Amino acid sequence: MISRNTHYFDVNFFRKANQSDITAIVSINNSCALPWKQNGFVLNAVDEQQIAALTGQPDKAVYVCGTAGRIEAFVITASDEDRGVLDKVHWYSSDIRSRFFACSRLYISKVAVHPSAQRSGRAHFLYVSLLNMFPTELFYAFITQAPVQNSSSVAFHRSMNFGVFGCYTAEEYCGLQGYRSELYGRFM
């Protein structure tokens, strides 16, 4: 069970990102972009225009957290993943599939922590903050399993009580051949 009253002694802000945060978000993202990183990774580098475009979309949001005014982590959410992708998921249970589509969902499209702040609870803090903001939502994320495995993300999501709902495969995705990811989710 995750405590929603967890306090992190040094994280002193969580908020929706604004235009002045874009450079820091891009820097964090790109410091975690493939090639493979030991403490987890994101699939692709981004530029400031891509992040700026996300902040203006009504169905997407970017949240940041950090200390002393320094952004150390971010999460990008969306009201839902592209239905075309969800329709291609191989569901591990028809019951899970039915429950998934029957409830309100929040898709976590990306989470990244600055390398100097990794393993310090920043991602945990972001997720707990989102759980507090959206207490009735089903949270879900896709985690890369092939051709490279993001074992850090798997361990993190399991620690946050996410379960594996299904898998998605594609011949090519974000420049990766033979792509496979697992859909992790958490029912509230």
pLDDT in tens, the chain (188 residues): 334 444 455 668 899 999 999 999 999 998 888 765 555 677 788 889 989 988 878 889 999 999 888 999 999 999 887 778 999 999 999 999 999 999 999 999 999 998 888 888 899 999 999 999 999 999 999 998 988 888 889 999 999 999 999 999 999 888 888 999 999 999 87
Q: Which pairs count as long-range contacts for 33-41, CB under 8 Å and 24+ apart, including other chains?
A: 34/148, 36/148, 37/115, 38/152, 39/115, 39/118, 39/119, 39/152, 40/113, 40/118, 40/150, 40/152, 40/153, 40/156, 41/144, 41/148, 41/150
Partners of 146 in the beta sheet?
180
